[in-house]
């Protein structure tokens, strides 16, 4: 049964989005490259569904077990389109994740952003102000990734017992590195306890 606690994740090729954005994005990101055909994108979306299915219940349960937040929605659509990487609202992922580990960690990442911003316990407009109080004033990208990385540590280390999957999340961009280093320095368990107290208010 679907519930806000464990919503269904529906992964689908977003052909309307692709039609509207592929040409300008190709001109910007890859003027000498070809855009994937709709047939290729459909195949990749199917592969993503196969990658995600064995992890879906486990990951969604782990999110709730760690932080105790429930999504507003019973169903979350994940749109697949070329020339994108990933973002959370609307939740869009590109056609670039070639292994199960990469897809699962990246989709978990975006679902956590979504959970923090669209849950039944807290108004999202308060998050940045409260996270600055908890973690200090920082670059926006750094600040919003501290809670996400703390949760990912708890999910993949404590819940799924697959800490090696976190290697897919290490990035060289300064803002992301700063968030990762903050979590490693202060400890993901301590950060999560602070977040739990935040969401109790």
Which tokens go with 188?
């993901």
Short-list 44, 129, 32, 117, CA closest to 84: 44
Q: What is the pLDDT along the chain (201 residues), one digit of tens a residue?
A: 467 789 999 999 999 998 889 887 777 677 887 878 999 999 999 999 999 999 999 999 999 999 999 999 999 999 999 988 999 999 999 999 999 999 999 999 999 999 999 998 876 767 889 999 999 999 999 999 999 999 999 999 999 999 999 998 888 899 999 999 999 999 999 999 999 988 876
Beta strands in 14-108 (DSSP E): 75-80, 86-88, 91-93
Among residues 199, 154, 159, 151, the alpha carbon closest in space to that of 179 is found at: 151
pTM above 0.85, yes or no: yes
Other beta carbons within 10 angstroms of residue 159's beta carbon come to 15
């Amino acid at each position: 049964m679907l519930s806000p606690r464990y919503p269904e994740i529906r992964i689908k090729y977003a052909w309307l989005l692709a039609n509207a954005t592929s040409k300008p994005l190709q001109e910007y990101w890859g003027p000498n490259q070809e855009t994937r055909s709709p047939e290729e994108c459909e195949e990749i979306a199917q592969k993503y569904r196969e990658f995600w299915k064995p992890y879906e219940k486990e990951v969604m349960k782990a999110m709730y077990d760690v932080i105790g937040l429930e999504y507003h929605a019973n169903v979350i659509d994940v749109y697949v389109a070329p020339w994108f990487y990933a973002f959370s609202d609307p939740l869009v992922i590109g056609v670039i994740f070639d292994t199960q580990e990469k897809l699962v960690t990246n989709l978990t990442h975006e679902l956590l952003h979504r959970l923090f911003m669209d849950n039944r316990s807290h108004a999202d407009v308060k998050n940045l102000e409260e996270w600055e109080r908890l973690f200090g004033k920082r670059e926006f990208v750094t600040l919003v990734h501290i809670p996400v990385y703390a949760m990912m540590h708890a999910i993949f280390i404590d819940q799924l017992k697959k800490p090696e999957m976190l290697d897919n999340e290490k990035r060289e961009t300064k803002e992301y590195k700063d968030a990762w280093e903050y979590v490693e320095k202060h400890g993901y368990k301590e950060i999560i306890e602070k977040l739990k107290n935040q969401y109790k208010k």
